């Protein structure tokens, strides 16, 4: 009874705040009341994200859905109301700039619903269903990739394309792109989806694929949550390897480094024995990075000193590559790796190799997370900047940013690796540079209150602005990955020739701009102005 009264109070607050035309008891009769929560713990969690850059914006309520129908009923209520309260889907809360937040509506907590405090009914979202013969898996939109992996491995299968961090939701990464070192070979995660169930901004539940509602299918992939909430995804699978040969080599010459990276990704059409399965890299601008979490790979028994590799104290670049294999074929791995390494031009004394189980390799960042959490260094502001840089300008970016703006100090890893544009479907909403090869440059810094100016949030935020300004002035047409803009024109410029289609589909599938208002692409409208 107390829960009902509290929930009724929350719904009354919705009515007062946004002019909801439904009576509180009518909304309760929609059948979602057992999944709606105003528990302070739920509300607080939904008002924060990994970035910790945006002030907490508590929602009016949090929904813990157990099915696509639950989500559809809620969105339909928002769409039919007088002023349309907003609805934002939230996965694991790993956005940086409040993209999953909403202060004037309901957050749909897609991840964690299997144990959320709002699950008074005991109903839970469906578990992953693997189809071994067809080699795909159907998963709830809020499922974490680590749990998808665990389910598929029971059948000896695994998704083809990954993100570096597996504690992200399926719907969250598919709403952006989902990239890691396999993207050169298999494309991003959005290139490995067979089918989706999506709740539109009108509360309609649509199944879409290449053959069915295809325009919606491609729009949602990389669509930043603007057209619908992904409640089910059918993901492509392949036979899972058992182990990984993980290799890192160092370079002091940027041109040689990028030339080797580009050579490796050019092998994507070759047989598996003649290419690596994973190609990434990172930048070392100061010696401290060599011992941070990203570089924990290096053995303490064989310490790496930058001064010994580059006596001039310049920037170093690390190529990170991996070869998947089965224990039954372990005898051929050495020969295959040696053949590939012979064609590269890294510093000879800098080869570091380790072998580990496939799951441990994919889940490597989570282990680093646990270490950072134990030191109180995880739940801090993360002013991350992720950029797609065209191949033709990557040398200019190196000179102006890595060897210029960053100086010799950083406060987190800086990833850099190339991808093949032909592995991306141009029909998706994701935006990339207009060149055959482009690089991800990810400045994954953490702001620390440790008295050092170069680690402060203000310093790092200003440095990000400086980097973007440099790119603009130098004619480097970067595209932001996980984009964040605050003006309409910036979003139009970001989408470029995709904007007209993006806007048309927004008006078709979410005409009242109810969904994902935290992205700040469209402003929610009331019914009067909409009509």
Do 375 and 458 touch, CB atoms closer than 8 A? no
Sheet holding 105-109, edge to edge: 36-37, 61-63, 105-109, 86-90
- Whose structure tokens read 């900047």? 385
Structure tokens at 467: 């980097």
Compute the distance between CA of residue 422 and CA of residue 410 in angstroms, rounded to an integer. 33
Do 528 and 21 touch, CB atoms closer than 8 A? no
Do 317 and 254 touch, CB atoms closer than 8 A? yes
- Which is catalytic among the residues 64, 94, 218, 382? 94
- Which is catalytic among the residues 143, 280, 320, 398? 280
Do 228 and 341 touch, CB atoms closer than 8 A? no
Structure tokens at 479: 């595209």
Which parts of 2-133 are beta strand (E)? 36-37, 61-63, 86-90, 105-109, 129-131
- Which is catalytic among the residues 33, 42, 164, 336? 164
Compute the distance between CA of residue 320 and CA of residue 325 in angstroms, rounded to an integer. 17
Do 205 and 198 touch, CB atoms closer than 8 A? yes
Structure tokens at 151: 């389910």
Torsion angle defined by CA atoms of residues 479, 222, 512 and 77, in that order, rounded to the nearest 10 degrees: -150
Which parts of 339-431 are beta strand (E)? 352-357, 385-390, 414-420
Kindly write down the DSSP assignment for every residue of 131-169, as one continuous string. Answer: ETTTTEEEEETT-BHHHHHHHHHTTTEEES---S-S-SB
3-class DSSP assignment, residue 70: helix
Compute the distance between CA of residue 34 and CA of residue 31 in angstroms, rounded to an integer. 7
Nearest by Cα to 66 from 58, 74, 77: 74
Compute the distance between CA of residue 275 and CA of residue 252 in angstroms, rounded to an integer. 24
Structure tokens at 138: 């159907």
Compute the distance between CA of residue 9 and CA of residue 39 in angstroms, rounded to an integer. 12
3-class DSSP assignment, residue 513: coil
Compute the distance between CA of residue 215 and CA of residue 428 in angstroms, rounded to an integer. 9
Q: Say whether 508 is catalytic.
A: no
Q: Say whether 147 is catalytic.
A: no
Q: Say whether 269 is catalytic.
A: no
3-class DSSP assignment, residue 352: strand
Report DSSP state, residue 240.
P
Do 10 and 61 touch, CB atoms closer than 8 A? yes
Structure tokens at 349: 């004394």
Which parts of 326-436 are beta strand (E)? 352-357, 385-390, 414-420
Catalytic residues: 94, 164, 280
């Amino acid at each position: 009874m107390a829960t009902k009264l509290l929930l009724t109070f929350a719904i009354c607050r919705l009515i007062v705040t946004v002019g909801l035309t439904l009576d509180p008891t009518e909304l309760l009769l929609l059948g979602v009341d057992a999944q709606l929560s105003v528990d302070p713990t739920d509300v607080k969690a939904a008002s924060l994200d990994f970035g910790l850059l945006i002030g907490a914006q508590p929602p009016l309520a949090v929904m813990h859905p157990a099915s696509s129908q639950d989500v559809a009923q809620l969105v339909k209520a928002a769409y039919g109301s007088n002023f349309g309260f907003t609805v934002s889907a939230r996965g694991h809360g790993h956005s940086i700039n409040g993209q999953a937040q909403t202060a004037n509506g309901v957050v749909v907590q897609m991840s964690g619903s299997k144990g959320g405090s709002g699950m008074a009914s005991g109903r839970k979202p469906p578990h992953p269903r693997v189809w071994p013969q067809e080699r795909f898996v159907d998963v709830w939109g809020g499922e974490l990739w680590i749990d998808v992996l665990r389910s598929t491995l029971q059948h000896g299968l695994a998704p083809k394309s990954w993100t570096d961090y597996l504690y992200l939701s399926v719907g969250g990464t598919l709403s952006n792109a989902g990239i890691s070192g396999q993207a050169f070979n298999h494309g991003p995660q959005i290139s490995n989806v067979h089918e989706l169930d999506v709740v539109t901004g009108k509360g309609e539940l649509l199944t879409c694929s290449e053959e069915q509602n295809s325009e919606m299918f491609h729009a949602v992939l990389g669509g930043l949550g603007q057209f619908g909430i992904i409640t089910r995804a059918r993901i492509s699978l392949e036979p899972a390897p058992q182990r990984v040969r993980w290799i890192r080599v160092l370079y002091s010459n940027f041109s040689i480094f990028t030339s080797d990276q580009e050579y490796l990704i050019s092998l994507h059409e070759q047989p598996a024995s003649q290419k690596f399965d994973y190609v990434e890299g990172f930048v070392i601008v100061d010696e401290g990075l060599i011992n941070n979490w990203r570089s924990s790979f290096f053995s303490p028994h064989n310490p790496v000193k930058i001064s010994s590799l580059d006596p001039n104290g310049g920037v170093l670049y690390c190529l990170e590559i991996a070869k998947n294999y089965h224990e039954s074929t372990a005898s051929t791995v050495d020969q295959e790796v040696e053949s590939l390494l012979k064609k590269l031009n890294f510093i000879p004394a800098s080869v570091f190799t380790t072998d580990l189980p496939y799951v441990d390799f994919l889940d490597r960042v989570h282990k680093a997370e646990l270490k950072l959490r134990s030191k109180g260094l995880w739940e801090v502001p993360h002013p991350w900047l992720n950029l797609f840089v065209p191949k033709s300008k990557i040398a200019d970016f190196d000179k102006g940013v890595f060897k210029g703006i960053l100086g010799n100090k950083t406060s987190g890893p800086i990833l850099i690796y190339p991808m093949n544009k032909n592995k991306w479907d141009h029909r998706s909403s994701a935006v990339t540079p207009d060149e055959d090869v482009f690089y991800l440059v990810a400045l994954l810094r953490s702001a620390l209150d440790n008295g050092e100016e170069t680690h402060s949030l203000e310093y790092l935020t200003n440095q990000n602005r400086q980097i973007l300004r440099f790119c603009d002035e130098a004619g480097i047409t970067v595209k932001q990955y996980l984009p964040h803009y605050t003006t309409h024109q910036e979003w139009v410029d970001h989408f470029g020739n995709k904007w007209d289609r993006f806007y048309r589909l927004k008006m078709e599938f979410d005409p009242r701009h109810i969904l994902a208002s935290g992205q700040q692409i469209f402003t929610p409208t009331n019914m009067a102005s909409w009509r």
